[in-house]
Structures are given as structure tokens and as C-alpha cells.
Amino acid sequence: MVGPIHSNPPTPIPGTISDYYGYYCFGNLPPNLEVIKDMHHDFFLKICVFFEETPSASNPYRSFVRSTDSRNSFIGTSFTRSHIFDYDSRIAEAEDYHLIRRLAYEMAHNWLGPPVTDGIDWLYEGIKNCLSIYFPFRNKFRTAHYFQTTISMLCTRYYTNRLINVPHEELLKLVPTSNYAKELLSPFLKKGANVKAHGIEEWIELLEPLLGEETRQRYEDMLSGKVILMDVRLFSGAKTHELKQVDQEILDFGVDRRSFEDGVVKGLKAGSRAELAGLKEGDRIVESSYLWRCVDHFEEKMKLLIERDGVQIEIKYWPRSFEMAKSWRMVKLDEK
């Protein structure tokens, strides 16, 4: 790396943590990322304990953070024992919980991704997502509120996706043209090396002693596109929280999602909230909110700066349809 590099630890010294760990960035980090940097090493050690691995110079881990000039840059790229996180000038919009989930997911990837058997990427992706829910909470990096908020977010993302009932085989066909399909099936898009490894059959065998014969049926239901119904006691082990069913509007940006990538409004839906807010076909998109915030936050508004006939106009609307779906959110028992 060349430039004003900052790192943790600041100076590599043989025989210290720098042998097996390093966190690197250019210049000063924004305040919310500075918080992540300060806890990154401790988090790494906790994950090593969970996976029963001792950090060593022969198996080091390095994490890199860099600011980019590209629009809507909030993405991580994982390699073997290393990770790069790119962010843009709007990183201040990323809340603490978003960054914590990213950190936990990044760490889990060291041991769990990607799979080496074709067709079961969703399994490894699901395990990493599950660990990203529990790691910060169980290791006391964040309170139970993090756990509650994350479960509610994942429920909203799943139950308000308009393609929830489409079988996975059909979703695979839709992925090239539908971002809603990508959200439901993105793990399937990856490919692994063709070598022998533990896969879905081994996973089912591990779960059957806990879930019984319903394990395989649940797997088949998932593949068929059958909606997963939640037991209100599913996450209530501590007797402090439970799932509550709610009606929520289905996610709908009102335009072809590729509009935000291409910078031009395409496929505007008649009668959608986007049209009612004043958006028109062919408007040039100068700036837009992070799409992932609208997906993860039920009440998040889509903010656009568009250009029409040489005039820039600010437009804000709720990227939800008028159609309702049965969803779930986690609540504290004393807040019901």
C-alpha cells in the first residue's frame, strides 16, 4: 500500500499481534468506521475462539478499508484470510448496526465461504447470516436491541419481497432481469470448486436429531417457494422477546431497479408511489439513496435528485406498494 496509511497495530513488531493480524486504511476514518476499527481485533479473537482456531503468523488475517469516488459504494470483497471494504462519501448514512452486521459477516467468511460444492451456496450464505445475528450479541459487543432489530430487518426483507412464493428454479431464471429475485436468491449465483465437501445431505443429517423427520420437508418446502412461517417462540430462549405478526407493504421501487445503476428512470409503474411523487419516465438520476437501506428499513424513504429539461428536482417517496403482506417483527415482551 502507498500513501498516508494508518493501521492497527500502528507498527509491525515481530512477536506481537502484527504477526497474525492487521487493519489498514488510508487517512482518517469517518467516526462510524473508527468505532469498527477499534473493536475489530477483539471481534476477530472472539470468532477464532468460536471456530476453535488459534491466531498465528502462519495463518494471518488482514483487513483493508478504502474510500472510493464511485456512486453507491458500500461493498466488501472477501479473499482467503483477507477482506477489502469500499465506501463512498455518504458512509455517514450507514448506521452502527449495519456496520456491525458487515463486520460479523466478514469474519464468518474466513471459515465459511464460499462452498466448494455447486448448488449449496445458499446454505453457507445462510449460516454466515445466522452467525452475523448472534456473534455481536452473544459476545457482548452489542446489546439485545441489536439482535431484536436484526431479526425484524431480516423478516421484513423476506416477507415483503414480491417474489416470495416463486420456486427457486424459477427465481434462477429471473435473476438476470430482476433485482427482487437477486435479493431472495443471491447466494445461488456463486460457483464453487468441484471437489468433495460437506453439503446439504450432511447438514440435514446433523439437524435431524434436533428437528426430526421434518428437516427434509422444510428443505423441500424452501425449494418449492413455500412461505416459511415463523413460530413466535423461535427466538424466545431468554424469555424477553418474541415474534409478532404485522401487516407490511410490499417492497416496490416503482421503477425498473436497473434505473439506479444506469442513471435513467425506466419502467415507471403507473399508479406507483414513485409516479405519484412526481417521477417521470426518462428522468436522469443524478443522485439516489442507498437501495439497501430501503430494503432493510421498512420506513426508509427513497430520495432522488433528478434532472428534467435541464432543471434539477428533488423527489422523495416511500418505495412500497399499496399491497400488504403478512410479516413479522421481534418485540420485547414488556413493550407489547
Look at residue 258 and tell me if it is in a domain. Answer: yes
- Quick check: bond before 9 cis, omega within 30? yes
Task: Please compute the mean of the pLDDT values over residues 205-229 and round it to a whole number.
Answer: 79
Within 10 angstroms of residue 311's Cβ, the number of other Cβ atoms is 7
Query: What's the mean pLDDT when you consider all of the chain?
Result: 84
Within 10 angstroms of residue 328's Cβ, the number of other Cβ atoms is 22
Contact 263, 287 (CB under 8 A): no
C-alpha–C-alpha distance, residues 47 and 283, integer Å: 47
Contact 265, 279 (CB under 8 A): yes
Look at residue 131 and tell me if it is in a domain. Answer: no
Domain boundaries, position 20: 1-111
3, with CB counted inside 10 A (0-12, 13-18, 19+), is exposed
Contact 263, 192 (CB under 8 A): no
C-alpha–C-alpha distance, residues 63 and 99, integer Å: 14
Q: Report the residue count for the chain.
A: 336
Look at residue 132 and tell me if it is in a domain. Answer: no
Task: Please compute the mean of the pLDDT values over residues 193-203 and round it to a whole number.
Answer: 55
Query: Could you tell me the CA-to-CA distances from 14 to 11, 19, 21, 254, 296 in Å, in that order?
Result: 10, 6, 12, 56, 43
* 195 and 331 inside one domain: yes
SS3 label, residue 82: strand
* 16 and 94 inside one domain: yes
* 206 and 175 inside one domain: yes
Q: Into how many domains does the chain fold?
A: 3
pTM across the whole model: 0.78
Residue 209: predicted pLDDT: 79
pLDDT digits (tens, 9 = 90+) for 288-319: 988 888 999 999 999 999 999 999 999 999 99
